Amino acid sequence: MAGIAASISWLGSQLSCCHNNLPALALSLVLLALLLDYVKRRKRSSRWPPGPTPLPFIGNLLLLDVKNPHKSVQDLEKKFGPVISLQFGWRNMVILSGFKTIKEALGQNPENFVDRPEVPLFSLLNRGKNCGGIGFATCNNGWREQRRFIVSTLKNFGMGKKTLEKRVSEEAGYLCSEFKSKEGSPFDPQILIYRAVSNIFCTLAFGDRFEYSDNTFLKLMHVTEEFMKETIRNLPQLIAAGSWLSYFPGPHRKLQKRYGDISIILKEIVSEHKKTRDPTFPRDLIDAFLEEIDKAKGKPDSSFNEQNLINILVDLFMAGTETSSSTVLWGLLNMVNHPEVQKRVQEEIDEEIGRVRSPVMEDQLKLPYTCAVIHEIQRCADVLPVATPYMVHRDTEVGKFVIPKETAVFNHLSSVLKDETMWEKPHEFYPEHFLDADGQFVKREAFLPFSLGRHACPGEPLSKMELFLFFTSLLQHFTFCFPKNCPRSQDRKKWHLPERGRN
């Protein structure tokens, strides 16, 4: 280490001598960065997980296919195994894959996987102190305060209760009516499904649903969807970047613009709530949050402030709409591709529910095959292939490796849902994965579409309700197929939707 210290000392002297010589200064800075990168890698223990050699400055960013990062991770798993080390910029990261590895990590050391890595560029999205939102917030008192509030408030407004079930069932009826209006003509169901699922969140957060043609509703969905696409597409770069990158052009500029567009819409909705709310009778999540803001006046360290309300609404809207709507859409696509499965589901619904009464959550007990199909849809849809990262707050053993303190850790959920050691036919659509020998529904240990740990999705019960009620309601009334003479591989957005014939 003495040689390294001498080298740094020499570089320091060169920097002090060439402050008026820009080329020499730039070269010295590059050499210093290379040396610091070398020192950083030298300090890694012998139990540091294997992985590709990082390049100076950018690390392994070039290894990731931004259009298909999931495929890049799969290729790395084949080469390095279930525990892989990467470097994004200057930040060390580890990817965990496979059910056994992820269960060992989060099951044996749950207290080590409670924090989130800091993302300096998120400060551009007004996510500073006491307003970090809920999705990417570090595990501080503000995050704990907000998670307790959200879980409690969602329960108060119907989460897991008959009142919300009734609301989801009503929205399923609106969705079926919209589908019926398209009968006989090919159409893209994605937009309608996204609107229906979004409306459930709007009921909880804003106190009411929107008409599908409402301009504010359509604009909110559009800008949120665009923001989410940009975030997912650039997540590794955003996590890797330091706060200094905010002074340069890049994808974060577009994110900042999208976030500003979302904030304008939400601030208008919050402003309207302020004018019309009754503090003694909160109507929804916004009213409940505004009440907490009133209580927190005079407490500068409170996480109850208007900017944090906007950030939390954005987090919940994204988490509560994209995954559920995508899963429902994938469910219909699987029914198109497996008409024999669709027919069997419809026969079970006809026998147990009929075609007049709307499905309710209690029907799950009478629909084992339908429930198995829904779970298999979730497994195969794989809408969240890589979970939002954790950051371990102390050195953590996983297998024969040690993940150092403050390392970001990604769980590759897709590798769990397709784990060849846990599923009979991991790469096929096979509802029998969730049925026993008697045809009854069974849970599977490796079914983890919502991840594990303390950061597991608080909206999981709502997502399950939406998926069951939307899917069964649609299959109760319609049979899904591609239009005649329409090659499936070329036009998956066009569907033919005949209403089911009466027997």
Output the known binding site: 457
- Which residue matches tokens 């000392």? 9
Give the range among 214-228, 247-261, 314-328, 405-419 with minimum mean pLDDT.
Answer: 247-261
Highest mean pLDDT among 16-20, 246-250, 271-275, 316-320: 271-275
Query: 384 lies in a domain?
Result: yes
Q: Do 41 and 72 meet the contact criterion of CB atoms below 8 Å apart?
A: no
Q: Do 194 and 221 meet the contact criterion of CB atoms below 8 Å apart?
A: yes
- Write the CA distances from 378 to 184, 271, 315, 427, 492, integer angstroms: 29, 38, 22, 13, 19
pLDDT the model gives residue 299: 87
Q: Could you give phi then psi for residue 95, rounded to 5 degrees?
A: -110, 125
Query: 492 lies in a domain?
Result: no
Query: 69 lies in a domain?
Result: yes
Q: How far apart are CA 228 and CA 319, in angstroms?
A: 10
Mean pLDDT confidence for 282-308: 91
* Total domain count, the chain: 1
| Helix H or strand E segment including 222 | helix 215-240
Q: How far apart are CA 316 and CA 423, in angstroms?
A: 32
pLDDT the model gives residue 491: 44
**Res 433 pLDDT > 70:** yes
Output the known binding site for heme: 457
Residues 177-199: pLDDT tens digits? 999 998 767 888 899 999 999 99
Tokens linked to 402 = 């040690």
pLDDT the model gives residue 484: 74
pLDDT the model gives residue 63: 81
Query: 5 lies in a domain?
Result: no
Residues 52-107: pLDDT tens digits? 988 877 788 788 776 777 788 889 999 999 999 998 877 889 999 999 999 998 88
Query: 33 lies in a domain?
Result: no
Question: What's the CATH number where 255 sits?
Answer: 1.10.630.10
Tokens linked to 42 = 């030298």
Query: 217 lies in a domain?
Result: yes
Residues 148-181: pLDDT tens digits? 898 888 888 877 677 889 999 999 999 999 999 9
Query: 387 lies in a domain?
Result: yes
> Which domain, by its residues, includes 60?
44-477
Query: 396 lies in a domain?
Result: yes
Q: Do 114 and 453 meet the contact criterion of CB atoms below 8 Å apart?
A: yes
